[in-house]
Amino acid sequence: MFNNKLDRLIWRRHRKMMAVIGGIALLGTVMMTLILLHTLKQDPEPNIHIVTASIRKWQVYKGNYFSAYSWWLIFAFWLGGLEIMHLDLRDHFNEFLFSSGFSRLKVYWAKLRIALSALLGMSVVILAIQYLLYWLSKPNGTTFTLAWPGLITSWAMGLAFSIGMFSLSWFAALIVGQTGSLIVTISGFTLSLVGLSGIGGSILSGPWFKVSQAALPWVGAGVWLVTAVILFIWGAVLYPHLSLEHNGEYLLFPRLRVPVYIVFVVYVTWLYSFDSDGVTMAGAFILAALFGYGWLWRPRLGEKWHQWRESKQAEE
């Protein structure tokens, strides 16, 4: 399947987990498809078109009974980024990789190549199974007709979003060294994107940028791809400097603590106080600053707390 030794090694290491992720995405997609087909059967209207005529337009397809690109695939990419970067750290496969005789940069790009290839292949198979399921299980009297413009647009947007999600979890797993904290951090950030997309949409379609509603998804896809490229390149710069004595610490690169803190405070303050008054902004800023400080410096705070408590006990 893969030609060179490094690719084979990485695939050998991750194939089981990739299969599990594929299984989850397939199961989710099949379940969603069956639920939609079941709902379709309950619809009293005769001669329903499962896919509406808007599939013939160059826009992301949105319909009641059919999704051209499953949300489960986006979840699979998100999970895949976490898996391939974090499990090697957690299970100490990085130790083996770093002394394997392959340069760290080669390892980094090979991991990225293999993860994206596997996830892309997985997406093709899952989409084919989803479409086939529609074709085979469509109720009598319904039609299932697809068209390239809506499909290609939906796939392109879906893939751009998926790759963006992959890059976020991939990068987070590269810089965060604790499993629980990583999951909390990336889940929180991913959920915050719901708010961010709303704010971003209103800014882009507002008087400054005047992006049309039809063009918004394309701009969004572009933003995701640019974000992904930036994170992949930044990751490539960081990865060769990863020293494994930091394994188990919240930040694997201690020098990132201050930049991460600044980004966190600015992002959270902006997200929670966008389009609101100064008091809300000040409140959001203070809360973000305090929470961020506690979160990023909490091991030190914890240590100091224990030292203080021990010294108190000693005094008594």
Partner 1 sequence: MTLNVAGLSKEIGGRQIIQDITFEWAPGEILGLVGRNGVGKTTLFRSMMNHYIPEAGNVTVDGQNIQQVPSRQQQLFFIDTQYNFLNNYRLWELPDFFMAVYPRFDEQRFTALLAEFKLDRNSQYRRLSKGMRALVNLVLALTSNATYIILDEPFDGLDVIIRENIASMVIDEVADQQKGFLISSHDLNELDGLSDRVLLLKDSKLVHDYNLEDIRAKAKKIQLVLNDRVIPAVLKEHSQLIRVSGRVLVVVITNYTPEIDRALKDLKPVLFEELPLTLEDLFRANLAHETGYQMMK
Residues that bind partner 1 (CB under 8 A): 5-6, 8-9, 12-13, 91-96, 98-104, 241-245, 247
Q: Is the separation of the CB atoms in 109 and 119 below 8 Å?
A: no
Distance CA 103, CA 98 (A): 8
Closest contact distance (angstroms) between CB of 174 and partner 1 is 15
Closest contact distance (angstroms) between CB of 9 and partner 1 is 4
Closest contact distance (angstroms) between CB of 316 and partner 1 is 30
Q: Given the complex with partner 1, which of 104 and 138 has the nearer CB atom?
A: 104
Token couple for 163: 């790759």
Closest contact distance (angstroms) between CB of 297 and partner 1 is 15
CA angle 188, 231, 300 (to 5 degrees): 55
Q: Given the complex with partner 1, which of 179 and 205 has the nearer CB atom?
A: 179
| C-alpha to C-alpha distances, 104 to 89, 213, 243, 245, 256, nearest whole angstrom | 14, 43, 11, 16, 20
Q: Given the complex with partner 1, which of 199 and 244 has the nearer CB atom?
A: 244
Q: Given the complex with partner 1, which of 100 and 280 has the nearer CB atom?
A: 100
Give the helix ranges, DSSP H, for the chain.
Answer: 5-42, 71-90, 93-98, 104-137, 148-175, 179-204, 216-238, 257-273, 278-315
Closest contact distance (angstroms) between CB of 120 and partner 1 is 23
Token couple for 315: 């005094």
Tell me the β-bridge partners of 143: 49
Residue 130 — φ and ψ, nearest 5°? -60, -50
Closest CA to 124 of 168, 158, 81: 158
Closest contact distance (angstroms) between CB of 292 and partner 1 is 23
Closest contact distance (angstroms) between CB of 45 and partner 1 is 53
Q: Given the complex with partner 1, which of 102 and 267 has the nearer CB atom?
A: 102
Q: Given the complex with partner 1, which of 224 and 253 has the nearer CB atom?
A: 253
Distance CA 69, CA 231 (A): 24
Q: Given the complex with partner 1, which of 83 and 155 has the nearer CB atom?
A: 83
Token couple for 59: 């826009």
Helices 148-175 + 104-137 axis angle, to 10: 140
